Amino acid sequence: MRDRVIRDEIHKDIFVPANHAKIIDTREFQRLRSIQQLSTCEYVFPAANHNRFSHSLGAYHLARTLIGSLNEVQPNLVSEEDSELICLAALLHDIGHPPFSHLLETPEVFATYHSHEHWGRVLLESKDTEVGIALLEVLGVQRRNRLFALMDGDSEFDGRAIPPYMKEIVSSQLDVDRMDYMVRDQANTGAQIGGFDIARVIRALRVNKEGHFYVKSWGLPAIEAYLVTRYHMYQQVYFHKVNMLTQNYLVRMLSRARVLAQDGSLKLSSPLENMLLNSALDAKGYAALNDAHIRVALPEWAEHPDTVLSHYAMRLLSRRDFHKSLRIEGLSTEMIDVVLPRLEPLVEAAGYNPSIDIITARISKRGYMPYEQGILLEDGRDAADHSPLVRSLTQPNERALIFVPEAIRDELEINVREWVKPSQSSLAQFE
């Protein structure tokens, strides 16, 4: 096998040495081509159908680029052996993602439920997976286990230190994973956000005597742009109301399919049976799952006599008759718990089924967290201490959405506004 150069839409040429190409060419890694990066976001942004494969290559490339930059300004900081482990940790960080990425990482869907990190380790440790075999061939047992310790965030392995920056390159508030997905997701959604300069962020990074990252003072504007981009990507893309709605459709549809399959009312394909019913799913079975198995089932499920299953499947198949969100600003998750019992009788009286025609989405995103894996500048203080802009991004984002049939939205909005009118910041009126 020869070294290769892979052409990428974001980073252009990505160099892959032959031994790493052996890992990329395994069935389990190639499976990431069929795992959509942004789950159902394409219902809002039609071109947002890029995959975990290209993102993983991008993170791998940025890890190599960052290590090269660090060794240029701080010679011999990262050894060749550790450099390889960092790059492979970036390459393999998403190997365990389920179909439709984070969305289906839930016990509502998987009969054998584990986090994607857990499944990733299962795939990489297995002697029955191509990626497990290839990784062992490339690294050997000791170096493979040091890679696992790095991915776990350990500070040492087998008596040898793992400096903090090695983990921070792969997982921190300023890691190659986030840098790649924000730029890649922005490019594929077409979101007009402004973006940030990855090359300048990388050039500004250094490692202090404690082994942690810090940013040169002149790099603060680049860090501000990075954090503002992250904020707006969540607001405009990841938390877009239609994205939140279609995610609900997909999870509810699969949850209903599980119930129907259990009582014999729905015949499942072998992969979907593994996903929804197999409580002892193994590495090979998990690695055989991808988005296509769900997409193929949609036309049949949209015609199924069960009205709940067909209700959700038809909407995902045709993008018609979507529920609409109540246009009420400042609706909190606390308010939802009080509003729903009042809302359900009104929806039922209008001829709808509250269990399928009232859909809620709870949005919770922690803001920038200074002092908790924050971003340090060269004087040792957090970026939030230097920048009012960064300080403004520390507030968490918590809100809620309620979706109802479009035909009754206006009427329901009048009622809900009246219920929360005295004070949306207090629920005393409901007591």
- How many helical (H) and strand (E) elements, i.e. helices and strands, does the chain have? 20, 9
Q: State how far the alpha carbon of 176 is from the alpha carbons of 12, 58, 66, 294, 313, in Å.
A: 16, 8, 8, 30, 36
Q: What is the 3-state secondary structure (H, E, C) of 204-260?
A: HEEECCCCCEEECHHHHHHHHHHHHHHHHHHHHHHCCHHHHHHHHHHHHHHHHHHHH
Q: Is residue 386 part of a domain?
A: no
Q: What φ, ψ does residue 291 adopt, rounded to 5°?
A: -60, -35
Q: Is residue 315 part of a domain?
A: no
Q: Is residue 350 part of a domain?
A: yes
How many domains, the chain? 2
Of 155, 189, 223, the residue at which a domain comes to its end is 189
Q: Is residue 272 part of a domain?
A: no
Distance of CA 104 to the CA centre of its chain: 11
Buried-exposed string 81-114: b where 16+ CB fall within 10 A, e elsewhere: ebbbbbbbbbbbbbbbbbbbbebbbeeebbbbeb
**Which pair of structure tokens corresponds to residue 106?**
């839930």
d(CA 177, CA 77): 21
CB-CB contact of 87 with 60 (8 Å): yes
Q: Is residue 416 part of a domain?
A: yes
Of 189, 223, 255, the residue at which a domain comes to its end is 189
Q: Which of 171, 177, 174, 224 is nearest to 196 (CA)?
A: 224
**Which pair of structure tokens corresponds to residue 68?**
């090269």
Sign of CA dihedral 89, 112, 294, 325: negative
In tens, the pLDDT along 23-42 reads 999 999 999 999 999 999 99
Which residues is 404 bridged to in the sheet? 324
Q: Is residue 88 part of a domain?
A: yes
Tens-digit pLDDT string for the chain (431 aa): 799 999 999 999 999 999 999 999 999 999 999 999 999 999 999 999 999 999 999 999 999 999 999 999 999 999 999 999 999 999 999 999 999 999 999 999 999 999 999 999 999 999 999 999 999 999 999 999 999 999 999 999 999 999 999 999 999 999 999 999 999 999 999 998 888 999 999 999 999 999 999 999 999 999 999 999 999 999 999 999 999 999 999 999 999 999 999 999 999 999 999 999 999 999 999 999 999 999 999 999 999 999 999 999 999 999 999 999 999 988 888 888 889 999 999 999 999 999 999 999 998 888 887 766 789 999 999 999 999 999 999 888 788 999 999 999 999 999 999 888 754 444 433 33
187 sits in which H/E element: helix 176-189
Q: Is residue 143 part of a domain?
A: yes
Q: Is residue 254 part of a domain?
A: no
**Cα-based angle 82, 85, 89 (whole degrees, multiple of 5):** 140
CATH at 170? 1.10.3210.10
Of 189, 222, 243, the residue at which a domain comes to its end is 189
Q: State how far the alpha carbon of 347 is from the alpha carbons of 101, 157, 241, 327, 334, in Å.
A: 33, 58, 21, 17, 20
For 351, the domain range is: 323-374+394-431
- Give the 3-state secondary structure of residue 160: strand
**Cα-based angle 338, 104, 7 (whole degrees, multiple of 5):** 130
Same domain, 333 and 185: no
CATH at 345? 3.30.70
- Bridge pairing between strands 359-365 and 397-404: antiparallel
Q: Which of 183, 305, 302, 179 is nearest to 249 (CA)?
A: 302
**Cα-based angle 48, 51, 55 (whole degrees, multiple of 5):** 105
Report helix angle 80-91 to 130-151, nearest 10.
Answer: 110
In tens, the pLDDT along 146-170 reads 999 999 999 999 999 999 999 999 9
Q: Which of 358, 355, 348, 260 is nearest to 309 (CA)?
A: 260
What are the DSSP calls for 275-335, one per residue?
HHT-TT--HHHHHT--HHHHHHHHHHHHT-S-HHHHHHHHHHHH--S--EE---TT--HHH
